[in-house]
Structure 1
């Protein structure tokens, strides 16, 4: 299989609020949990200068790779992020949520093209996330951007389009548009929406009906990536289950404390297991086809 690899990444943002016996894990405890679970990388914002040495130490100690987040509004913003990534070092790619949703049509195409041009001048790829509240918030317009920019590398997070479109299943129209985006997969973010809530608990065994659709989309994304990937490269797959605020569902217990309705860490590990299983299936399938 030309030495392709699935880079299992855990979102640092998604570690917020996680802990044991009501106590949040410390920075190093988070690193330890991520490494023990078998993840190969962390994705996070670039640490502040005063934190860089500690992050370097922990990444080395737990043998973890690193990818960065950016929220550019201009080409200069992404240039600044690329420069910061070069200072920190060891950044495999930057995941960009490009601001904002009111930048549309040719203006958006020009911005995305400029961001890609800036990335191409460095050795750090920039992947554009499909995300609400950004230039890619709308499924139909994002497809048009991909048609204008066939080299546009996407971080696929279809949960945003499922909730924005109130999809509690799927449709031929949605599948056609999703297929177009999946052709430009560079990275996958794992979260499941049911069309009403951005993040749902899929159950301990993954028996939520919407998970069937997401697994199919993740599989297509992996196959499309494998069809064009260079030998020796890795596909990032990020488990990204957000904390309370706008993502994790909560309730009030008898003492009035806000409690999450699901165990986000166990859900992340379930998504990791599912991704690894799908990856094994598709790589075997591709190998058999190429014999």
Structure 2
């Protein structure tokens, strides 16, 4: 006879494997503070009210700001993913030391994960590998996942370069922001699914923003003219979600539309063409609707 624990494990496995049965279980949504101008407490309150599970932010450099952020996280019961980035203006060895210092500062705050802007598109393969290998050592030593975001200007600025790194480091943990590649390659990448699959299998975290062939961010993903791009991005995200629910039982997603001038604006007035917060919430809801 099966024990209660065995029965629970079987039921949990069934829920994870069948998207039609509570497929949102294990999918955690995070909100970015990029472009938000209010206090940490206001940000946390608004994120919680919008049904986010956590936030993704850069580690505040000022002690008081960090304390206020931590108070907000505790008060509003939010998880946190911290961001770190390689300073590309520094000589290589100095950049590695600075990256290590920044990672250790983030690790000390005990986030559920760290997301990195790693390396540079001007560094060699081996130079970029040095940053990734350092992050992997620290991740293993401190039991905190450290991911590397696909991003223009970094080692992962193109799909082929990222595949090349995955071949060099098969365990490379990736944050996929595929909107960057849509503009870099001037394509929604329908013809590159085989290469994409090599990256999707390594993706642990998603930055959910919709790009297109000419820019990394559409002006408003709710507009019907962007539906093809929106559905293409969601299809890729769902592919990742299905894989991670199957092998890990959870996946994290940060909605990451950005403010002006990353967000398109009207000429002369510079008025943004959509509401930043509402746009990010829309993306979360659109994904949740596809998960039902």
Smaller-chain TM-score bracket: 0.7 to 0.9
1:221 to 232, 240, 257: 240
Instruction: Say if 2:70 is the partner of 1:56.
Output: yes
1:3-45 per-residue CA deviation (whole Å, 9 max, x = no partner) reads: 86111100111x43xxxxxxx5443322221110000101101
Relative to structure 2, which stretch is displaced further, 51-60 or 180-189?
A: 51-60
| Superposition deviation, residue 155 in structure 1 | 0.2
1:119-159 per-residue CA deviation (whole Å, 9 max, x = no partner) reads: 21112211000000001112101101111211111001100
Task: Sort the Cα spacing of 1:143 and 1:49 in 2 relative to 1 into closer, same or farther, 3 A.
Answer: same
- Residue 270 of structure 1 is matched in structure 2 by 282
1:244 to 249, 260, 268: 260
1:233-259 per-residue CA deviation (whole Å, 9 max, x = no partner) reads: x311000011113x100014xxx5320
Relative to structure 2, which stretch is displaced further, 205-214 or 178-187?
A: 205-214
Q: CA RMSD in A?
A: 2.1
| Superposition deviation, residue 113 in structure 1 | 2.1
Count matched residues: 262
TM-score (norm. length: structure 2): 0.83
- Residue 114 of structure 1 is matched in structure 2 by 134
- Partners of 1:161 and 1:126 lie apart in 2 by 21
- Residue 103 of structure 2 is matched in structure 1 by 82
Contact kept, 8 Å, 2:84 with 2:103, in 1: the verdict is: no
1:5 to 26, 33, 36: 26
Contact kept, 8 Å, 1:75 with 1:115, in 2: the verdict is: no
Instruction: Say if 2:203 is the partner of 1:185.
Output: yes
Matches within 5 A, 1:124-163: 124-163=144-183
| Superposition deviation, residue 277 in structure 1 | 3.0
Relative to structure 2, which stretch is displaced further, 144-153 or 101-110?
A: 101-110
Contact kept, 8 Å, 1:78 with 1:118, in 2: the verdict is: no
- Partners of 2:197 and 2:278 lie apart in 1 by 30
Unaligned runs of 5+ in 1: 17-23, 282-291
Contact kept, 8 Å, 1:45 with 1:68, in 2: the verdict is: yes
Task: Sort the Cα spacing of 1:244 and 1:224 in 2 relative to 1 into closer, same or farther, 3 A.
Answer: same
Matches within 5 A, 1:203-214: 203=222, 208-214=227-233
- Partners of 1:135 and 1:207 lie apart in 2 by 29
Contact kept, 8 Å, 1:206 with 1:270, in 2: the verdict is: no
SS of 1:224's equivalent?
Answer: helix
Contact kept, 8 Å, 2:119 with 2:128, in 1: the verdict is: no
1:259 to 271, 283, 287: 271
- Residue 91 of structure 2 is matched in structure 1 by none
- Residue 102 of structure 1 is matched in structure 2 by 122
